[in-house]
Chains A and B, each alone.
Chain A
Amino acid sequence: MTLLTAPYLIFIAGLLACCGMCLYRIGRGPTAPDRMVAIDILGTVVVGFVAIVTAATEMTYLLNVAIVWAVVSFVGTLALARYLAGKASHE
């Protein structure tokens, strides 16, 4: 299992720290757009995570996961943004 060599462990620890900071911002708020920004950033960080796991294990089919994750994260963010903007203008 090549995932457990030293450089990749350090990279994974760094990205886990990023995920932790995003989760802190999602939990803390204080407004809905803050949480949406953090969710969007979390999606992008996860794409990087998948890329590192691909490089470490040499399972290149995992790059498909990265592409799909980027697409789904983008669509989700856009839907939430449209929802929030529309809700404000109708009130």
Chain B
Amino acid sequence: MSDAVGLTIISIGVLFDIFGCIGLVRLPDVYNRLQAATKCVTAGTCLILVGSLITLGSMPAAVKGLICIAFILITSPTAAHALARAAHHSGVKLWDQSVVDRYEKDLHAARAKEDSA
């Protein structure tokens, strides 16, 4: 019973991973790829970990796995934010059909404030 539940959750997680990586290959620019891949792969990997913990069914493994899940849930958005910021600072252009770039606007406002001060 716990085997069937665990295998189901693992297969959902693998599907999430595959969709995230398809997004990584197919989408047009860094920012689109980043948001598709980060969200899908984080969710997929956490689901794989949960499924394998259910399949294993032992307490020490569960503690270790939950630590790993918590760590991934904290670090993955942080890394994605740092990457998006680095990409923007290093001058990577948005896709030509992107409609809004609020970060660029904020940077302009900050620069104007500095110049006037």
Q: Which residues of A contact B (CB under 8 A)?
A: 7, 10-11, 14-15, 17-18, 21-22, 24-25, 31-34, 36-38, 40-41, 44-45, 47-48, 51-52, 54-55, 58, 60, 63-64, 66-67, 70-71, 74, 77-78, 80-82, 84-85, 87-89
Given contacts A21-B25, A37-B24, A84-B86, contact A51 B18 (CB under 8 A): no
Mostly, the B contact residues are helix
Cβ of B68 and Cβ of A52 under 8 Å apart? no
Residue B116 is within 8 A (CB to CB) of chain A in the complex: no
Partner of B68, one of A14, A22, A31, A47: A47
Partner of A22, one of B21, B56, B87: B21
**Which chain B residues numbered 39 to 76 have a C-beta less than 8 Å away from chain A?**
41-42, 44-45, 48-49, 51-52, 55-56, 58, 60-61, 64-65, 67-68, 71-72, 75-76
8 closest A-B pairs (Cβ-Cβ)?
A55-B52, A33-B87, A81-B82, A21-B21, A88-B90, A81-B86, A85-B86, A60-B61
Residue B94 is within 8 A (CB to CB) of chain A in the complex: no
Nearest-neighbor residue (CB-CB) of A74 within chain B? B75
23 A–B contacts from the bound complex (CB under 8 Å): A7-B11, A11-B14, A14-B14, A15-B17, A17-B18, A21-B25, A22-B24, A31-B30, A31-B92, A33-B86, A37-B33, A37-B38, A44-B42, A48-B49, A51-B51, A52-B48, A55-B55, A70-B68, A70-B71, A71-B71, A81-B85, A84-B89, A88-B89
